[in-house]
Structure 1
Amino acid sequence: MKLPEDLNTDVLIVGAGPVGLTLAMDLASRGISVVIAEIRPYAEPPNVKCNHVAARTMEQFRRLGVAHKLRDAGLPADYPNDVVFRTSVTGIELTRIPIPCRQDRYSDTAGPDGWWPTPEPPHRINQIYLEPILLEHTAALPQVTLLNRTQVASFTQDAAGVTALATDLDSGTSRRIRCRYMVGCDGGSSSVRKQMGAKLEGTAVIQRVQSTYIRAPQLAAMIPGKPAWSCYAMNPRRCGTMFAIDGRETWLVHNHLNADEPEFDSVDRDQSIRDILGVDADFRYDILSKEDWVGRRLVADRFRDRHVFLAGDAAHLWVPYAGYGMNAGIADAINLSWLLAARLQGWGEEAMLDAYEVERQPITAQVSQFAMDHAQKMIKARRAVPANIEAPGTEGEAVRAGIGQEAYELNVQQFCCAGLNFGYFYSNSPILTDDGEAPPAYSMGSFTPSTVPGCRAPHFWLPDGRSLYDAFGSGYTLLRFDGAVDVTALELAAQARKLPLTLLDVDAQDLPEAYRHALVLCRADQHVVWRGDRIPADPAALVDLLRGAGREAMRQTT
């Protein structure tokens, strides 16, 4: 017997956070029908977390048409995005990492992330402003059906797809949702992950944190010097972090518990906040919300079970240093979306979907390791705050200068993390070629631009003023730097197999040195898949590899 209001869709997404919404937007841009099941009411304010949208994420939001909306939201346009280190929020400044305010974000190239080769620099914005913009944009898309107050209770799989049983949490009624593919974007306690039998593995406890969202209208006037988006407080009484939320009166305060404070309730929340802020008992503030949480480094042992996938916190959890919790989840969504679309559009083989887990699982393991290593260094630094850091005179000044230099060198790499944005690469993927050159290594803060297959295609501006990425097609894009090279056979091979291929002839000045070949073939998520000075001897074999029809490594003919 059919349950009321049965639905059929291409993709069912469980969870309407930033990862699920981005996945839905990208799928919809490719003509794929989507149903999103979300347990919260429509437009319920999200938690106050995730204060940073990475450059790579902003590049994708540019393509999806929401970057400009996000740039207009968050802190006031002239509010500095700097990161400052002080003895307390209202205390003595130790050092400062300069980051432009959003009105100067495109024009100010002087800071440690101003040189980045990207059309979309990072954006500091809290999730309470970010998520409503993504939600409004997604809900208006005709390909998307949003089911709020709906919980996916269970699901079964067969050879053709997934049948999910969803419950309306207000009425108690149930419905079946039939889909070709389902993606769990339902957070760290993911029911999809649990039902598919995947397990999180890694380090269960790295750092315990009390987070408190406060309203304190008097605080801004008490902070000396230039405002900052983030302030790290370092004193012997309590170390913590504060983020400006609205740039006027609301703030998010993180109290980092010490190793000898294993229980949240054992720590005086109010006194810790006052020690971090550097205020006395007469200072008034209101708690808007609070949350106790544990920083971890956990990665699921698998990201896929046949027609069901995991993305975002459902697949990986780690301490949010470098802001790469949500951003890594959005990278999952962008990686998975074009693969699902390829299959649903008919030109990609089922084996093409194997690339998702092969590519994303190792990257999330690497990024989480970067974050954990940084967290451990920060924990060590907090333990080592000297008792005389607030001392007057030359003694205190010398101590503060040394601590400030150490704090800058340690933290500039997480707040200006070029490596995590542009350096990561995919390898051993069934839809990438291997031409024998190893991708360059990267760190949290540094990278080397490269066109080695698996790397992000280095950005440059086209003569007409467009970003390179603005000219990319929806599937594969062939960059041709020498118009004399004949690519007709490759175009015909792609056409015969319905593989979408856009030819982009490039006649640009000042190309990045990494572009050493006449031809560079890139895919929808801007990663290079093949390069050469002429097309392969068997272009059909390359096309088959790229659509998941050939698993053996392709020998490149040069």
Structure 2
Amino acid sequence: MSQKTRILVVGAGPVGLTLSMELAVRGIDVLVVETRARNEAPSIKCNHVSARSMEIFRALGLAGAVRKLGLPEDYQHSISYRTTTVGQELTKIHIPCRRDRFTDKTGPDGNWPTPEPPHRVNQIFLEPALFAHAEAMDRITILSRCEMVDFTQHSDGVTAEIRDHESGEILRVDAAFMVGCDGAKSKVRKAIGAKFEGDAVVQRVQSTLIRAPHLIAAMREEPAWAMFSLNPRRQGNVYAIDGRKLWLVHNYLRLEEEDFDTPDRDGCIRDILGVGKDFAYETVSREDWFGRRLVANKFREGRVFICGDAAHIWVPYAGYGMNAGIADASNLAWLLAAHLQGWAPYSILSAHEAERHPITEQVGRFAMKHAIAMASQRSSVPENIEEASAEGEEARAALGRQAYDLNVQQYACSGLNFGYYYDKSPIIAYDGGVAPEYSMGRYTPSTVPGARLPHVFLEHGRSLYDLLGHGFTLFRLNPHLEVDALTHAAGERTVPLAVHDLPQDIAGSVYEHALVIARSDAHVVWRGNKVPDDPLALIDMLRGAH
């Protein structure tokens, strides 16, 4: 049997599904192959959807549905640092429950410049919702229990062999492009000769999913989304999965503990929880993992690309494994669509690696640096941290301050959400402006080409990002400025360019130029105070034809 499609996506996790939906809304037919069964639950992985990912889901019409998933609506999304899960609280990073997400502004991310603040939800709830939405879209076909076993490239496409695990039959698929979103053990990455480079092991974590319906009743403090245990016996973390009875317990192994079975799993869980032998819980699954910092040396070979964990894996701090993959997918989708729709040449596709590879390197290093700092803090917990004395109280206060200062940048990571910029892209018109530096938890809004378009709310609470289409958007801060030459140039090249007036009093002082062009992924690609002398040359640059 044989089948034709425009894009073949290997892997139906959050990254592959996002890529497929981004392509489908642009009118591109997609075939997705996934080795798991249709209703097979994913493993317990990412617990956090970033603001940037939520913005992508908003554009896809999914944000509202995603925000209803996960913990009960009144369960706090805070991060609590304690002596044990049921012990005394040292400090808390306040993140409101989903019911209060848009009204409670008191937390460190309460006033972020976005229409979609982050959302805490485990992948076991997120992925089925993405799957159902994608499966219902007209231009997406998902083949479950199917595996891509081989492929060849030729001048105008890719031919892949897909094996049906149920029937054993081989389906031949002809596609214009193929994208591997098939995880850390990616068959596609290996097939295109891409190799991981970096640090193979940064840390080891003995991780266990447990069912403990009586844990909340045993706590002296209000339950939180994440509860870190800092005591001399054991340091770990407990994530609330359903806010009732399912908990993911991370036990951070010490340097001398080189094997996941070296420390007593049950004993460590009880030390982290702070409970005795009489406390009953059930082990649901073992989810042990290595923290790594690995980035593929290339993200593409001809008409075959890799995204997400297939392209990069690192210590999953700040939740930026899956979220970086979703950003990869959004970036690649508009580039592929631009070419397949006929308004951008094949050469535009080189922008994906030029833009995303440096960012994944930066984020990976941020995560590794933070992992090392956290390990140092865990190894220096005072012996008297649980002591009922003035000295013990002083030790708890000091460690609480240190834990807050170190970790608020991870759990309210505005820099990773909004600060990164593309400074070496072949399809961005740079003007000599320098994008502001950023860290994990700090950034400065800017319209420097390559940076994220600074967000503002318009009249009646509408988001500026709701004006971004599937191509380019020209924001005009001076409504009297003539832009016909630019729109005509875009029309001549059939490049989608919408024009919207943005009042200066709403835009604010960060918008220093009268004209700003942004892409569908909210990155600035050009700015100026008048239409350029050669508008056609600018349009050609933005579409990769220069």
Q: Do they superpose with TM above 0.5?
A: yes
State the partner residue of 1:556.
Answer: none
Identity of aligned residues (%): 57
CA distance in 1, matches of 2:262, 2:294: 26
Q: Is residue 413 of structure 2 the alignment partner of residue 417 of structure 1?
A: yes
Provide, for residues 145-203 of structure 1, a one-character-per-residue CA deviation record: whole Å limited to 9, x for no partner.
10001100011101101001110111111011110011000000000000000000000
- Which amino acid letter does the alignment assign opposite residue 12 of structure 2? A
2:90 aligned to which of 84, 87, 94: 94
State the partner residue of 2:298.
Answer: 302
Shift of 1:267: 1.6
- Which amino acid letter does the alignment assign opposite residue 47 of structure 2? N
State the partner residue of 2:31.
Answer: 35
Q: What is the TM-score when the length of structure 1 is the normalising length?
A: 0.97
State the partner residue of 1:159.
Answer: 155
Asked if 1 retains the 8 angstrom alpha-carbon contact of 2:348 and 2:543, the reply is yes
State the partner residue of 2:49.
Answer: 53
Shift of 1:508: 5.9
Asked if 2 retains the 8 angstrom alpha-carbon contact of 1:213 and 1:288, the reply is yes
CA distance in 2, matches of 1:512, 1:102: 30
CA distance in 2, matches of 1:448, 1:468: 18
Trace 1:340-489 onto structure 2 (pairs within 5 A).
340-489=336-485
1:292 aligned to which of 288, 302, 306: 288
1:314 aligned to which of 310, 313, 319: 310
- Which amino acid letter does the alignment assign opposite residue 397 of structure 1? E
Stretch of structure 1 that moved more, 507-516 or 533-542: 507-516
The list of structure 1 runs, each at least 4 consecutive aligned residues, that deviate by more than 4 angstroms after superposition, is none
Shift of 1:464: 4.1
- Which amino acid letter does the alignment assign opposite residue 81 of structure 2? F
CA distance in 2, matches of 1:98, 1:463: 30
Q: Is residue 185 of structure 2 the alignment partner of residue 189 of structure 1?
A: yes
Asked if 2 retains the 8 angstrom alpha-carbon contact of 1:463 and 1:508, the reply is no
CA distance in 2, matches of 1:59, 1:508: 24
RMSD, aligned CA:
0.8
Shift of 1:73: 1.1
Shift of 1:479: 0.3
Shift of 1:507: 2.5
State the partner residue of 1:108.
Answer: 104
2:113 aligned to which of 108, 113, 117: 117
CA distance in 2, matches of 1:144, 1:240: 41
CA distance in 2, matches of 1:322, 1:232: 15
Provide, for residues 210-245 of structure 1, a one-character-per-residue CA deviation record: whole Å limited to 9, x for no partner.
111111011000111222110000111111010111
Shift of 1:143: 0.1
State the partner residue of 1:150.
Answer: 146
Trace 1:181-330 onto structure 2 (pairs within 5 A).
181-330=177-326
Provide, for residues 242-268 of structure 1, a one-character-per-residue CA deviation record: whole Å limited to 9, x for no partner.
011111111111111011101112121
Asked if 1 retains the 8 angstrom alpha-carbon contact of 2:86 and 2:221, the reply is no
Trace 1:127-138 onto structure 2 (pairs within 5 A).
127-138=123-134
Asked if 2 retains the 8 angstrom alpha-carbon contact of 1:215 and 1:251, the reply is yes
Instruction: Tell me the SS of whatever aligns to 1:509.
Output: helix
CA distance in 1, matches of 2:48, 2:215: 22
State the partner residue of 1:332.
Answer: 328
State the partner residue of 1:171.
Answer: 167
Stretch of structure 1 that moved more, 338-347 or 385-394: 385-394
Shift of 1:434: 1.0
Question: Is the alpha carbon distance of 1:263 and 1:61 closer, same or farther for their aligned partners in structure 2, counting shifts above 3 Å?
Answer: same
CA distance in 2, matches of 1:164, 1:68: 36
Q: Is residue 503 of structure 2 the alignment partner of residue 507 of structure 1?
A: yes
CA distance in 2, matches of 1:64, 1:125: 18
CA distance in 1, matches of 2:285, 2:22: 32
CA distance in 2, matches of 1:206, 1:512: 43
Trace 1:530-549 onto structure 2 (pairs within 5 A).
530-549=526-545
CA distance in 1, matches of 2:377, 2:502: 49
CA distance in 1, matches of 2:180, 2:458: 38
Asked if 2 retains the 8 angstrom alpha-carbon contact of 1:348 and 1:548, the reply is yes
State the partner residue of 1:496.
Answer: 492
Asked if 1 retains the 8 angstrom alpha-carbon contact of 2:291 and 2:314, the reply is yes
Asked if 1 retains the 8 angstrom alpha-carbon contact of 2:458 and 2:506, the reply is no
CA distance in 2, matches of 1:330, 1:513: 31
State the partner residue of 2:62.
Answer: 66
Instruction: Tell me the SS of whatever aligns to 2:28.
Output: coil
CA distance in 2, matches of 1:210, 1:507: 54
Asked if 2 retains the 8 angstrom alpha-carbon contact of 1:461 and 1:467, the reply is yes
Instruction: Tell me the SS of whatever aligns to 1:265.
Output: coil
CA distance in 1, matches of 2:342, 2:506: 39
Unpaired segments of 5 or more residues in structure 2? Answer: none
State the partner residue of 1:554.
Answer: none
Instruction: Tell me the SS of whatever aligns to 1:24.
Output: helix
Asked if 2 retains the 8 angstrom alpha-carbon contact of 1:463 and 1:507, the reply is no
CA distance in 2, matches of 1:63, 1:48: 26
Instruction: Tell me the SS of whatever aligns to 1:353.
Output: helix
- Which amino acid letter does the alignment assign opposite residue 93 of structure 1? E
CA distance in 2, matches of 1:508, 1:276: 53
- Which amino acid letter does the alignment assign opposite residue 313 of structure 2? L
Question: Is the alpha carbon distance of 1:420 and 1:320 closer, same or farther for their aligned partners in structure 2, counting shifts above 3 Å?
Answer: same
Unpaired segments of 5 or more residues in structure 1? Answer: 551-558
- Which amino acid letter does the alignment assign opposite residue 300 of structure 2? R
- Which amino acid letter does the alignment assign opposite residue 525 of structure 2? V
Instruction: Tell me the SS of whatever aligns to 1:408.
Output: helix
CA distance in 2, matches of 1:247, 1:285: 15
- Which amino acid letter does the alignment assign opposite residue 419 of structure 1? G
Shift of 1:511: 2.1
Instruction: Tell me the SS of whatever aligns to 1:50.
Output: coil
Q: How many residues align?
A: 546
Provide, for residues 428-464 of structure 1, a one-character-per-residue CA deviation record: whole Å limited to 9, x for no partner.
1110011001100000001000000000101111224
CA distance in 2, matches of 1:336, 1:472: 17
Asked if 1 retains the 8 angstrom alpha-carbon contact of 2:44 and 2:287, the reply is no
